[in-house]
Amino acid sequence: MPLSKYLSSREQYDAHCREQFEEASPHDPAAVDRAMARRYPKSTEQAAEELKRRGLRIDVEQLARRVTPEFRQVGRSVLWYADDIDAVAEDLDQANRLTYDAHYRREQGLSYAEHVAIQKQVRTKRLAVMQRVADAAGGTIPDVADACNRVMPDPLEWDDAAIAKAVTLTREYIVSPGVAR
């Protein structure tokens, strides 16, 4: 049975993992393929973390109680494969054991995919504003973040005056003692 639309499906989770590996190794598709192949089996802790990332609420102790004699083990360590995790995901979905994010999506009528798309748009807009400031100040996005994060609102709220202030703060930060260049 497919998971609720508020949760990350196996395909969506795998695609997200692949994106992260591709960001880490943008010019090495073989490394990405190796990383994808090495994701399973997982420990009970790693399986619980995957379920949380997919929008399901469970802790390590609760997951450990779901182990049956059919599970593969090495010594005392249980090996969790994608199929094992997916079976637990379906049970948790049926029991309505959702994380706060998944509850939020359900309340807003947003699917997991729609929510991810919105988050990507917000991140892209935020980075574009910060890049604009970095270019004007002669710095980098991390310089802008370091200079502005504690004294200015979110970059999505910056108008032209706030951008000018951010440029000034970033320039001051760049030339300040202790900033490695």
Q: How far is CA 43 from CA 12, 69, 82, 172, in A?
A: 21, 16, 12, 47
Dihedral sign computed on CA atoms, order 81, 86, 92, 94: negative
Q: Percentage of the chain surpassing pLDDT 90?
A: 86
**Is the distance from CB of 92 to CB of 52 less than 8 angstroms?**
no
Quick: pLDDT tens for 94-134. 999 999 999 999 999 999 999 999 999 999 999 999 999 99
Which sequence spans correspond to the domains of the chain? 10-110, 117-175
Strand-pairing partners, residue 78, are 73
What pLDDT, on the 0 to 100 scale, is given for residue 2? 84
Q: For position 68, what pLDDT does the model report?
A: 86
pLDDT digits (tens, 9 = 90+) for 150-179: 889 999 999 999 999 999 999 999 988 766
Q: DSSP assignment, residue 28?
A: -
- What does the H/E/C string look like for 45-107? HHHHHHHHHCCECCCHHHHHCCCCCCCEEECCEEEECHHHHHHHHHHHHHCCCECHHHHHHHH
Q: How confident is the model at residue 53 (pLDDT cuts 50, 70, 90)?
A: very high
- Residues 6+ positions from 3 with CB-CB distance below 8 Å: 9, 54, 89, 90, 93
- What pLDDT, on the 0 to 100 scale, is given for residue 180? 63
